[in-house]
């Protein structure tokens, strides 16, 4: 699976999205992350592993409580990817706009000929 | 905004009937639906009614790459709405309305196959918004 698919799969779960939202506020320990969720620590750890594999977070190796940190770059690549699609469709709309102008410049072609 | 969707709006200076027709009729589709950058749309088939099928050809600038974009119209409400699902599972829809004598098109594209309604409701646009704030704060 490519990185982007992995990222999307990681983002497909509401709990994981909530964890990411929490991490946008700064580095957080696993205990702190588990608090708002009615979930065991192992269950939270499992989600964190998915997020880590997808490159969305990183976990410090040195500190004993291994705080989690958001890896903003991965989300940025998602954002860029969305942007590409947007530009693609904007360009397509430009072509439709041009084509509509062309269509309307041709009189007597739409059944209203005198 | 919901999960993995993009919404684009555009005001076209043309009657709604004509704009609507451009989205459904093969002879119009080949004129504007191409992928740009030298890509062409050599042919299009479109059975423009609810449940109808469409097939739009794409040919690359080098003449080597070519593929068909195919799918089904989930809903065609004349002059108002076209909803379709591509055969790769991606849904998209376009809505048409009058605005100041022009035609407003609101187009929504879902970028990945939809697996559940729940996923659509819980978009991650909030995460991106938060991310923006996060990056701003980092740059201070």
**How confident is the model over A85-109, as pLDDT tens digits?**
788 889 999 999 999 999 999 765 5
Is residue B29 pLDDT above 60, yes or no? Answer: yes
Contact state of B34 with A95 under an 8 Å Cβ cutoff = yes
Contact state of B10 with A93 under an 8 Å Cβ cutoff = yes
Q: What is the dihedral of CA B98, B103, B109, B114, to 10 degrees?
A: 30
Task: Mutation target for A interface from B127, B129, B132, B136: give the one with most A CBs within 10 A.
Answer: B127
pTM, full prediction: 0.64
Q: Does residue A82 fall inside a structural domain?
A: no
Chain B residues with CB under 8 Å of A106 CB are none
* 3-state secondary structure labels for all residues of chain B: CCCCEEEEEEEECCCHHHHHHHHHCHHHHHHHCCCCCCCECCCEEECCCCCCEEEEEEECCCCCCEEEEEEEEEEEECCCEEEEEECCCCEEEEEEEEECCEEEEEEEEECCCCCCHHHHHCCCHHHHHHHHHHHHHHHC
Enclosing domain of residue A7: 3-71
Question: Six-digit token pair at B19?
Answer: 């704009």
Q: Does domain B5-139 have CATH number 1.20.1250.30?
A: no
- Smallest Cβ–Cβ distance between A86 and the set B8, B122, B124 belongs to B8
Q: How much is the mean pLDDT over chain B?
A: 80
Q: Does residue A31 fall inside a structural domain?
A: yes
Domain ranges of chain B: 5-139
Question: Could you give the number of structural domains in chain A?
Answer: 1
Q: Does residue A112 fall inside a structural domain?
A: no
What's the maximum distance between 2 C-alpha atoms anywhere in chain B? Answer: 55
Count of H-run helices and E-run strands, chain A: 5, 2
Q: What is the pLDDT of residues B85-136, one digit of tens each?
A: 988 778 899 999 999 999 999 999 877 644 443 333 333 344 444 444 444 5
Rounded to the nearest angstrom, the minimum Cα separation between A111 and chain B is 13
Kindly provide the ipTM of the predicted complex, given to two decimals: 0.75
User: What is the CATH classification number for the domain harbouring A65?
Assistant: 1.10.10.10
Is residue B25 pLDDT above 80, yes or no? Answer: yes
HSE toward the beta carbon, residue B118, CA cutoff 13 A: 6
Q: Give the mean pLDDT of B58-80.
A: 89
């Amino acid at each position: 699976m490519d990185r982007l698919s992995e990222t999307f799969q990681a983002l497909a779960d509401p709990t994981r999205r909530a964890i990411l939202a929490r991490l946008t506020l700064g580095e957080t320990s696993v205990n702190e992350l588990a608090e708002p969720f009615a979930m065991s620590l192992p269950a939270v750890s499992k989600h964190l592993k998915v997020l880590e594999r997808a490159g969305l977070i990183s976990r410090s190796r040195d500190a004993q409580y291994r705080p989690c940190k958001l890896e903003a770059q991965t989300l940025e690549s998602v954002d860029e990817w969305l942007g590409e699609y947007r530009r693609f469709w904007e360009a397509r709309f430009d072509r439709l706009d041009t084509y509509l102008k062309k269509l309307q410049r041709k009189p007597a072609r739409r059944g209203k000929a005198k | 905004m919901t999960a993995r969707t993009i919404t684009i709006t555009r005001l076209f200076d043309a009657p709604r009937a004509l704009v609507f027709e451009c989205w459904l009729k093969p002879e119009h589709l080949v004129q504007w639906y191409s992928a740009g950058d030298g890509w062409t749309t050599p042919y299009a088939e479109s059975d423009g009614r609810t449940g109808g099928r469409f097939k739009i050809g794409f040919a690359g600038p080098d003449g080597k790459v070519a593929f068909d974009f195919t799918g089904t119209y989930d809903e065609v409400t004349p002059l108002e709405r076209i909803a379709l699902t591509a055969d790769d599972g991606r849904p998209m829809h376009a809505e048409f309305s009058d605005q100041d004598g022009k035609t407003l098109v609101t187009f929504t594209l879902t970028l990945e196959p939809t697996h559940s309604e729940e996923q659509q409701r819980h978009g991650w646009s909030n995460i991106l918004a938060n991310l923006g704030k996060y990056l701003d704060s980092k740059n201070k």
